[in-house]
Chains A and B, each alone.
Chain A
Amino acid sequence: MIVVNTDSLPGYEISHSLGIVQGNVVRAKHVGRDIAASFKNIVGGELKGYTELLTDARRDAMSRMLAQATELGADAVVNVRFSTSAITQGAAELYVYGTAVKLATSTNSAALESPPPIPVS
């Protein structure tokens, strides 16, 4: 599955759209992490615990979106957007959405048959 946040893809033509696919995750930090972060926050700097929390949430949301896209038989998800909302204190929602599309093989048919896995990082 190719995932981009642009509305076109180099080397491919979009044949038709299959509709919106989406994934959401609501994540809360556990109290231990909150306390650790509040100590770290005295001196400022990166709060790695929260960064990791968000990375995990983003991966989960993304895999839910990709599962939907796979179900629809999509080749790619284009125009991906991230959106967040604060549900309550200590919990955040990460919402990712995009348009699942079918690709018409144009110049890059070889790559379409074996798309590389999306990098997780």
Chain B
Amino acid sequence: MFEVLATYSIPLLILAVAFFAGNVSASRHEKSLLERQQTVAHIHTTDLNRFSQPDPTSQANLFTAEVTLGIDHFRGFLGRLKNIFGGQIRSYQKTLDRARREALTRVIEQAHYAGYNAVANVRLEFVDISGKANMVKRASIVTIIAYGTGYRTQAPPTGEQISVIPTPAII
């Protein structure tokens, strides 16, 4: 009994640490993300390849952002277990969702601080940085590159807010 405990104590400790630290870092990220999305919520953002009433005296510009998120070992372990039986792997969904929102928010923030009030033609792309894109198998890394064109729109704000704050897609 004692021997078994001694053999598995280190992996179990790592899983426990990963579980708690992972929870803290995920909820902290979620919180800061919501705040930052709130501050740039007035920026009109679309993935349409056209400008809506652009200001011709303002020059449009490309903005790019990258983000790499890791999935903690506990959730990675759960994901691999879940993969045996199939079904939704929520922890992976959430991490992907957070990574995409983070990258997109960074693009919008850059456009905002450069003095633009709209972003058109937003694109989000998954990058296989580890050479092992299959998260379930080995690498628990999500890398997203986001880009879009910032411009000034003359469109008057309709209602109290032009764009809707993107909420987490997965609950």
A binds B: yes
A residues near B (Cβ < 8 Å) are 2-11, 37, 40-48, 50-51, 53-55, 58, 80-92, 94, 106-108, 111, 115-116, 118-119, 121
B145 at the binding interface (Cβ < 8 Å): yes
Q: A5-B148, A84-B127, A92-B131 are in contact. Are A43 and B72 (CB under 8 A)?
A: yes
Q: Can you report 22 A-B residue pairs in the complex whose CB atoms are below 8 A from each other?
A: A3-B61, A4-B60, A5-B147, A6-B51, A10-B56, A10-B60, A11-B57, A11-B58, A41-B72, A41-B140, A41-B141, A42-B17, A42-B73, A45-B22, A45-B29, A45-B69, A46-B29, A80-B62, A89-B130, A108-B57, A121-B63, A121-B110
B117 at the binding interface (Cβ < 8 Å): no
- In the complex, what residues of B have CB within 8 A of residue A46's CB? 29, 67-70, 102
Interface residues on B, range: 35 or more
* A44 and B21 within 8 A (CB): yes
B133 at the binding interface (Cβ < 8 Å): yes
Cα of A85 to Cα of B127 in the assembled complex, Å: 7
B31 at the binding interface (Cβ < 8 Å): no
The stretch from B37-45, B81-89, B118-126, B161-169 touching chain A is B118-126
Q: From B25, which residue of chain A is reached at the shortest CB distance?
A: A45
* B123 and A5 within 8 A (CB): yes
- In the complex, what residues of A have CB within 8 A of residue B133's CB? 86
Cα of A4 to Cα of B54 in the assembled complex, Å: 14
Q: Point out the residue from A58, A80, A107 that lies within 8 Å of B56, measured CB to CB.
A: A107
